[in-house]
Amino acid sequence: MTDYLANADVALLQRHGLNDFEALWALQLDAVDEPNTGRGGWSSVYRLELEGKGYYLKRQSDYLTRTLHSPFGEPTFAREFRNIRRYQKLNIPALDAVFYGERKSKGQHRALLMTRALDDWSDLEHLLGQWPQLDVAQRLGILEACGTLARTLHSAGQLHGCFYPKHIFLRGRADGWKAQLIDLEKTRPLLFGMRDRLKDLEPLLRRAPAWSEGDVRTLLAAYLAQPADSRQVDTWLQRLVRRRHDKETR
């Protein structure tokens, strides 16, 4: 596979001698958390700053998954990178890939994925912790941005698979709130209509206990492009509550 390097970052990486796989693999950095082990290998995440710009550099070795696409196994980053590119083509707001490459060396299957850090964005999980302190306009903007993001995702025929607060990043500006997604590894085509849509949305609501029924109605109104008191919003709310109850009582 040919290495991918985003055009916008070529000059910057070249200035630091980091525009190829070997240089990025050899770069000495501190991991941001404990490495994942299993699958016969390891996977780790590092933070990198270059000229005031933040990046996350993810490296793994023999950390493979088997799919119909690759029955003999491929790095989990390969699927994530394909999904990043797919989201870009479908105009679904999500993180940007800067570099991707793979190498098979000395019996090891290595992969490297570099993405831009979302330093001027806040994840929804953090914002939920501040929910009581946010003003009405902020809450409304966040809820509508999340609903619009979900509508864009599902209208493009994609199911995220981990539509959780920690994977939704938001930014407020004068022209309103914007939202985008990270962690695209579990994305798959949306095949089963309303069932798949509920499957994506319910975990988000279950992880947002700070939201009132009115908040959820606001999100669903943006998602469905319907008034918050509409019959369609009523139906979706009832289905989501029922699915949540079923999950919690299993």
Examine the domain organization and report whether 82 and 182 are in the same domain: no
17-60 pLDDT, tens digit each: 999 999 999 999 999 999 999 778 999 999 999 999 999 999 99
CATH number, residue 149: 1.10.510
User: Are 171 and 243 members of one domain?
Assistant: yes
Q: Are residues 142 and 213 in the same domain?
A: yes
Judgement on whether residues 128 and 109 belong to the same structural domain of the protein: no
Query: Is residue 129 predicted with pLDDT exceeding 80?
Result: yes
Q: Domain ends where: 73, 94, 116?
A: 116
- For residues 108 and 128, state if they share a domain: no
The pLDDT assigned to 1 comes to: 62
Q: Given pLDDT bands bounded at 50, 70 and 90, which one contains residue 246?
A: confident
Q: Which CATH number goes with the domain that contains 14?
A: 3.30.200
Q: Whole-prediction pTM value? A: 0.93
Choose one of 116, 142, 167: the last residue of a domain. Answer: 116
Answer yes or no: do 210 and 236 share one domain.
Answer: yes
Number of domains making up the chain = 2
| pLDDT recorded at residue 172 | 96
**Percent of the residues in the chain that have a pLDDT greater than 90, as a whole number:** 88
* 100 and 153 together in one domain: no
Q: Are residues 92 and 192 in the same domain?
A: no
Q: Which domain holds residue 201?
A: 122-249
What letter represents residue 140's amino acid? L
Q: Domain check: are 106 and 16 in the same one?
A: yes
- Same domain as 136, residue 112: no
Q: Of 86, 116, 146, which closes a domain?
A: 116
